[in-house]
Structure 1
Amino acid sequence: MLIAALTRRVASSGTRPLLTYYDGAADTRTELSATTFANWVDKTANLIADLGHEDGDPIDIALATTHPGHWVALVWIAAAWQRGYPVNTTPTGADLLVVGPDDNRRAAQTVACSLHPLGRGFPDTPGDALDYVEVFAQPDVHDEIPSALGDVLDGQVVPTVAARDTRLLLPDPVAGEGLILEALVSPLLGTGSTVVAVGLSDERLAAVAATEHATIIA
């Protein structure tokens, strides 16, 4: 469902903003158009394949819980679904685990993400993990192996949601299925877009909402 919607969005309005992420602590802003987001998804899907992860096996994307709504977490979720992998947002013992910069949990294979706004890697190689910066070496080839079940999140097929055509600002979002549906799936089904803001004051949030022409959703 999601990848088909992303493909349509790239074809119809690929240069328009899809996802914008504000990190208040780092004072950074990252904006991804549908085309740029799809490029990251393709590269990440190819990285997963290069790691030898078996088709249909789940991926534990712990990053989706430790850093909910972060653009890198959403890229990983979309990439997993592109290749038909079920996604768990907490570690379940899957062979492949995706973590953030301060998460020392490890699996048989672990990819650690620095969460740099431009996708740069760690200053030092994380122990017992692959630095996500290696994704830049992957081709932009679209490699899709859709699951017969559809997109699976935490053991359940992602439900059908209404398409969204608006631009919403989600401040300090809470991890879970609802966030993933609202931030990514729903706007892709329509013509909408999402701004995620973490660690901003109320005054700063109001300014960002005005600048981004977005409606704040509490």
Structure 2
Amino acid sequence: MSGIVIERFATAAADDPAQPLLTWYDDATGDRTELSGATLDNWVAKTANLLVDGLGLGPGDQAGVLLPPHWQTAAVLLGCWAADVKIVPPALKVTNEKISVDVIFASADRVSDAEGWSTSERFVLGLAPMALPMRTVPSGFVDYVAEVRSYGDHFTPYEPKKDDELVRRAAERAAELGLEPGDRVLVDAAKHPDPLDWLLAPFAGGATLVLCGALDPARTEDRAAAEKVTTRLV
């Protein structure tokens, strides 16, 4: 899918490698992680290479993603799209029957939910500050952070499909929000858990992100000023 988004990464990395593209805050833990276009592109490439070189996946294969808004979730989603691996969202899990996918990515607190999905390839994300690996990995899972680091830093995305629905929806949502190139968007992750809002629309519109988990309203004004925010999704 992600022709628009991957191109945005490439442009950001080429124009100003140090420019913050996605800044993550977690007010529950105090975590702040800032990623430039080049750094996030590196994580995306490693994820895509994990899928393609490590698992032998590609166009037509499917990934289950049981992850909250987070900068590592962005790397997983974009890595899947770069490798042309289809995302199967949890919303499709509406029956007691197991959904068959080729790989699943789950946060540590949703490992039990992953039992409802049928796959032999299971990765868990601890979502710890500084991308630290997990001390204890659940049985049957591989630590995404520990595994993905060994893969290559560059990946050439598959050619994006013409008239891709998700690309169209992202562009339409960006227009609805009035996003323009150069905007800095602060997003309350709890209120906007859909990747269309917290990831795709901002990048489709050429904006950069300040993504906030467990957002403390008392910190919003100071944060918006410090991060030079121009638009808010709160």
What TM-score bracket applies, with the shorter chain setting the length? 0.7 to 0.9
CA distance in 1, matches of 2:202, 2:16: 13
> Corresponding residue for 1:170?
187
- 1:186-197 matched pairs, under 5 angstroms: 186-197=201-212
> Corresponding residue for 1:140?
153
> Corresponding residue for 1:111?
123
CA RMSD of aligned residues (A): 2.1
> Corresponding residue for 1:58?
62
Once the two structures are TM-superposed, the CA of residue 216 in structure 1 deviates from its matched residue by 3.0
- Cα separation, partners in 2 of 1:197 and 1:81, compared to 1, 3 Å: same
CA distance in 1, matches of 2:84, 2:163: 8
SS in 2 for 1:98: strand
- Cα separation, partners in 2 of 1:148 and 1:181, compared to 1, 3 Å: same
TM-score normalised by length of structure 2: 0.79
CA distance in 2, matches of 1:127, 1:150: 41
Q: Pick from 6, 12, 15: which aligns with 1:3?
A: 6
Once the two structures are TM-superposed, the CA of residue 18 in structure 1 deviates from its matched residue by 0.7
How far does the alpha carbon of each residue in 1:51-101 deviate from its partner, in whole angstroms, 9 at most, with x for none? Answer: 2234321211121xxx1x211111111101111111122154312111001
Once the two structures are TM-superposed, the CA of residue 149 in structure 1 deviates from its matched residue by 5.5
- On the 8 A contact 1:62/1:99 being kept in 2, the answer is yes
SS in 2 for 1:55: coil
> Corresponding residue for 2:83?
83
Once the two structures are TM-superposed, the CA of residue 27 in structure 1 deviates from its matched residue by 1.1
TM-score normalised by length of structure 1: 0.85
- On the 8 A contact 1:22/1:29 being kept in 2, the answer is yes
- On the 8 A contact 1:97/1:111 being kept in 2, the answer is yes
Matched residue type, 1:89: P
Q: Does 1:181 align with 2:196?
A: yes
> Corresponding residue for 1:199?
214
Identity of aligned residues (%): 28
- On the 8 A contact 2:77/2:87 being kept in 1, the answer is yes
Q: Does 1:93 align with 2:100?
A: yes
Structure 1, unmatched stretches of 5+, are none
SS in 1 for 2:109: coil
How far does the alpha carbon of each residue in 1:133-167 deviate from its partner, in whole angstroms, 9 at most, with x for none? Answer: 2111112122422353676xxxx533251463311
SS in 2 for 1:25: coil
Q: How many residues align?
A: 207
- Please identify which structure carries the higher helix content: 2
Matched residue type, 2:57: H
SS in 2 for 1:72: helix
Matched residue type, 1:158: V
- On the 8 A contact 1:19/1:32 being kept in 2, the answer is yes
> Corresponding residue for 1:34?
37
